[in-house]
Amino acid sequence: MSPQPFRRLRPRPSPRTPRRRVLTRAVLAASLGLGALTAAVAGVPAGAATRTDSDVPPDPSTTAGPTFWVDPFSAAAKQVASWKREGRSGDARLIERIAGRPQAVWLAGSGSAVDVRTHVEAAAKAGRTPVFVAYFVPHRDCGSYSSGGARDAADYRRWVDGVAAAIGTRSAYVIVEPDAVPHLVAGCPGAAATERHALLAYAVDRLKRQPHAKVYLDAGNAGWVPDERRLVDPLRRSGIARADGFALNVSNYETNKVSSDYGHRLVKALGGGKHFVIDSSRNGNGPYKGGDEAWCNPPGRALGTPPTSRTGDPALDAYLWVKRPGESDGTCRGGPKAGQWWPEYALDLARRARA
């Protein structure tokens, strides 16, 4: 039997601004502060975490890929500003370890196209690449903490069309539907496999029509479907051939080493040629070993390798923070609803960070 699958956070709505010109002015101002913030983060001394193989240093000799977009209006950035006003400068500095780093924007509702356009335009002005998560497939999360999604197949296709059109000719990374394929392997009542495969393939195809979009179909994590061969047929039916590759460890805690080894095995099982990305947002201490729902707000975790496209591995395109550190996995272990900002948990992750 497969281990208990991790569940996905319910993405928070992307930050909204009433007028695009307001965002432009704010981004220009915020980018100056974020530049200083990012530099400060890089010099933060090591935290209290025990070193694990998640702390894989990027290879500086590797040809640089894109530089990813830092959202100046993230919940973490707002928390930094709030705590500075309250005189909690030490805690604010810790949260800067999150706020100063690129994180994915989760797209999960009818306003997603507007959010995408806002972020790609702001990122382009800064010469950066945003990371998006398409998370709107019908029967999302199989009725668990992040349940929801499109009403039906037609609604989902329209939604994908809007997201793709909003990306346009801009550069973007897109993670397609976390959990959607592994849930079919593990079992997902209510989700018809034929329809889901077709919808995922449609999303991959439509997004890849954008000339500068890199598209990664989610493939779960090494602890969920340990035998990677079980994913091969579902991924093929879901359009992996047209995707740039697949995403691993989204919202989970498997180490970089475990995830990378698993990724290389899956590439081989697929016949070679595919690339992958790893979510390293919270895997600094590896997975939690105690209690039920080990995937849900586990204690003692730490921020992982900061986002970078310099991985030292030609098949590994990037370490990304797909899950936004500090946003709850769900109403477990005292956490708020999935996707809501939880400052106490964020602080705990940041205290244990090594970089």
Options 55, 115, 317, 329, the catalytic residue: 329
Angle (CA) 324-325-328 rounded to 5° is 85
Phi, psi of 129 (to 5 degrees): -115, 120
Measure the CA–CA gap between 112 and 106, rounded to whole angstroms: 9
Known catalytic residue: 141?
yes
Known catalytic residue: 317?
no
Closest CA to 249 of 326, 201, 172, 319: 319
Measure the CA–CA gap between 140 and 109, rounded to whole angstroms: 12
Options 179, 244, 279, 313, the catalytic residue: 179
Known catalytic residue: 91?
no
Options 55, 71, 115, 141, the catalytic residue: 141
The full 3-state SS of 280-347, as one line of letters, equals CCCECCCCCCCCCCCCCCCCCCECCCCCECCCCCCCEEEEECCCCCCECCCCCCCCCCCCCECHHHHH
C-beta separation of 313 from 261 below 8 A: no
Question: Reduced to 3 states, what is the DSSP secondary structure of residue 129?
Answer: strand
- Percent of the chain that is helix, strand, coil (3-state, to 5): 35, 10, 50
C-beta separation of 203 from 172 below 8 A: no
Tokens of 161: 């069309």
Phi, psi of 316 (to 5 degrees): -95, 105
C-beta separation of 234 from 185 below 8 A: yes
What amino acid positions are annotated as catalytic residues? 141, 179, 329
